[in-house]
Amino acid sequence: MNLRNGSYQDEYVPEFGGKSPRDKFLRMRRKTDDKPASRNAVTGWRFGALFAAAVTLAVLIGNVTIAGVFTSRVRAQGYTSNVAPISVGNCGYIKKLGIGIHLVINIVSTLLLGASNYCMQTISAPSRDDVDRAHVKGSWVDIGIPSLRNLRFIRKRRAFVWFCLGVASIPLHLVYNSIFFVSANNNLYRIWYADDSFARGAPFNETFFTQAIALGNVNADKLQDQLMHGDRYQNITNDECINAYAKTLIEDRGNVILVMDRPENCSIFNDPFDQRLSEPGHSSLADCGNTSATSLYAVDNYNNNFSPETDPYITNWYYWICSQDDGAWKDQLGADPWKIHGIKVNYCLSEKLNSQCQLRVSLNLIYVVITFNAVKLIIIILIATSHWINDEPLVTVGDAAASFIESPDPRTKGVCLTSAGYIRNNKLSEEISQTVYHPQRKRWFSAGSRFRWTIASLLTLTAIGVILGLLGYALKMLGSRFFSQRF
C-alpha cells in the first residue's frame, strides 16, 4: 500500500505535518516507500504462504519417492497385494525401526499441518472491505487469530477454499501413521507336565501320548531327545516362566515343560473347558496310567479363545497357569509357591525361539496420502499466488493498524479504548461514546470470553467423562469375565 498515491500525500510529507503519532507513522511509511526495493521481493503473508507451499511440495516429493521405491521392492519380492513386508528380523530391531519411522511421519505430518493451518488463517483473515461490511452491519471480525466466525463475512469463494483445505487435512492425518506398521508372530505352544527325570531319559507311557488324538500330533520321544541332546530348552524359574507366558502374544517362546511334583493321577490336568475330550474317539488324560511308572503326566495345547458355557467356570486365557477348581481362582497366581491343580511346580523348561517381526507397508494408504497431499499443495499455491482468492487480507493486528491509520473508519474513530464486551452488547452504531482510560488489574481469566471458557471447559469435561466411562466399562468387564465373586 503506497501512501504517495493516497489522499494524505499533500498534507503529510516528511518536511511538514504535525507531531501526532499518526503524522509520524505516515512520514515513516513514506520514507520506507521511497527506498528502492526489488520487484521480485515477496514479503508478509504471501511469503509465508509460498514457504508453506514449498514445505508441502517437499513432502509430496518425498511421498512419491517412497511410494515408488517400496512399490518396486514389494513387487520384486513377488508380492501382488498392496500390503506386504518390507523388512523382517528380530522383534527388538523391527520395533525400534517402526518407532523411528513413525517419529519421522509425525514430524512431517506436523509440518504439513502447520503449513495448512497458516494458510487457513490467512484465507479466513478479513480484508478491509470485509471489515467495513461487518461494521456496517453492526458487527465485528477477528484479526490475528484463526477464526470460524470470519467465514460469515469473507467472500464465499474464500470460505470454500478454506473448507477444502480443512477437509484435505482430515484423511491425510488419519491414514499417515497407518502406512507402516509392525506385525509379530504369535507362537502356539504345548504345555507338558512332567517329572524332573523326564529330561534325563526316564520312561513314560508312550502309548497314551501316541493315542491322544484330541491333542493333535504329539511326539514325546522327539521332545525328550531335544531335552537330552540339545540346548533348545532353557531352565527358567517360576517367576520367569509366568512372565514369559502370561500374555496373549508369545513372540520368543515355544513349548514349555512344567517340572513338578508327582501327582496322584493325571485326571487333575484335564482342561474343564475342552469339550473334545468327551467326544467319541478322543482320549482322556485320565488314561495316562500309574503316575509312579511314568515321567510324563500330561500335555495340552495353549488355547486362548474358549468360552465356557457351564457354571461355575469363568473365562480364563491362562487356565494352565492359574487353575480354576470349584469355579474360583483359589490358587492365586504366584511363583512362591506356584501350584497348578494343587501340584507344586518346581521350575520350567522353556523352548527359546528367535522372535521374528515384520515391518509392513500399505501401498494403498501411500497413494491416498499422495492424493490429498497434492490437493493441499494446489490449494496453497492458489492462496499464495491468486489475487482472485486472497487479496490483501489483514492477517495481523499490525496490518489492521496500518489500514485504519491510512484510511480511518468513521464508525470506530476515536473509540480505540472501547472494550470488546461493550461492542458485543451494544453493537456498532453511528455514535459510540468515547471511553476514558482507567487503569485496573485484569485477571488472566478475562483474556477469553465466558462463552469460550464454557466451550473449552465442556470439551475438557466431556473428554474426561468418556475416558472415565471407558475405564469403568473395562473394570466391569474384567470383574465379570476374568474374576470370580469368591476370589
- What would the 3-class secondary structure string for the chain be? CCHHHCCCCCCCCCCCCCCCHHHHHHHHHHHHHHCCCCCCCCCHHHHHHHHHHHHHHHHHHHHHHHHHHHHHHHHHCCCCCCEEEEEEEEHHHHHHHHHHHHHHHHHHHHHHHHHHHHHHHHHHCCEHHHHHHHHHCCCCCCCCCCCCHHHHCCCHHHHHHHHHHHHHHHHHHHHHHHCEEEEECCCCCEEEEECCCHHHCCCCCHHHHHHCHHHCCCCHHHHHHHHHHCCCEEEECHHHHHHHHCCCCCCCEEEEEEEECCCCCHHHHCCCCCHHHHCCCCCCHHHHCCHHHCCEEEEEECCCCCCCCCCCCCCCCCCCCCCCHHHCCCCCCCCCCCEECCEEEEEEEEEECCCEEEEEEEHHHHHHHHHHHHHHHHHHHHHHHCCCCCCCECCCHHHHHHHHHHCCCCCCCCCCCCCHHHHHHHCCCCCCCCCCCCCCCCCHHHHCCHHHHHHHHHHHHHHHHHHHHHHHHHHHHHHHHCCCCCC
pLDDT in tens, the chain (487 residues): 444 444 444 444 444 455 555 555 555 555 555 555 455 556 788 888 899 999 999 999 999 999 999 999 888 888 888 888 888 888 888 989 999 999 999 999 999 999 999 999 888 888 888 888 888 877 788 888 888 888 888 888 888 989 999 888 888 888 888 899 998 888 888 888 899 899 888 888 777 666 554 555 678 888 888 898 888 899 999 888 988 888 777 888 889 999 998 888 777 776 554 544 445 444 444 456 566 778 888 887 775 444 444 444 444 556 678 754 443 444 445 556 888 878 889 999 999 988 888 899 999 999 999 999 999 999 999 888 877 777 788 888 888 888 888 888 877 777 777 776 667 666 655 566 666 777 778 778 777 778 889 999 999 999 999 999 999 998 887 665 444 433 3
What's the pLDDT at 305? Answer: 45
Cα separation, 281 vs 7, whole angstroms = 105
Domain boundaries, the chain: 190-354
| Whole-structure pTM value | 0.66
> Do 344 and 351 touch, CB atoms closer than 8 A?
no
What's the pLDDT at 318? Answer: 66
What's the pLDDT at 451? Answer: 83
What's the pLDDT at 331? Answer: 43
What's the pLDDT at 44? Answer: 80
Q: Which three cell numbers stand for residue 180?
A: 507402516
